[in-house]
Amino acid sequence: MVYRGNEPVDRIILKDMEFYGYHGVLPEEQRLGQPFVVDVELFLDLAPAGRSDDPESTIDYARVFRVVEEVVTGPPCRLIEAVAERVAAAVLKEFPVAEVLVRVKKPAAPVPGRFEHMAVEVRRRR
């Protein structure tokens, strides 16, 4: 794997995946649901895939999407921190990556005021 300092450099990025889930502290959030937007960055050595041009030597992006979708549309959490943690754990369990960065955005958070989204980000290593 290629590193810059202690950080792996190669990564696969799935950005702005949209799902409908039932996460939130308020009862209405868990009853009515709302959209969630998720970014996932997978850190791994991409040199073998780049050299071979063989899909078997990399990660199946569609499978990553399905794993994230299962978590976000699955059993509700009160906190998006818990959603992010579940996504990170599922990705590390399913795929041979050195680490994963997960960002969960809540564009319709029930907070007064104007904003693009509220978000949390977790980064987990093996």
Q: For the chain, which residues make up each domain, given as ranges?
A: 3-125
Q: What is the pLDDT of residue 2?
A: 60
**pLDDT of 3 above 90:** no
| Eight-state DSSP code of residue 11 | E
Q: What is the pLDDT of residue 7?
A: 66
Cα separation, 44 vs 64, whole angstroms: 14
Looking at per-residue confidence, does 5 or 30 come out higher? 30
With 0-12 / 13-18 / 19 or more C-beta atoms within 10 angstroms meaning exposed / middle / buried, residue 40 is buried
The residue annotated as part of the active site, out of 15, 93, 105, 106, is 106
* Mean pLDDT (whole number) for 95-119: 89
For residue 93, indicate whether it is catalytic: no
Residue 4 pLDDT class (50, 70, 90 cuts):
low
Return mean pLDDT, the chain: 93
CATH of domain 3-125: 3.30.1130.10
Residue 24 pLDDT class (50, 70, 90 cuts):
very high
C-alpha separations of 65 from 59, 79, 115 in Å? 11, 21, 26
C-alpha separations of 126 from 27, 29, 83 in Å? 35, 33, 18
Cα separation, 20 vs 105, whole angstroms: 12
CB contact at 8 A, 77 and 89: no
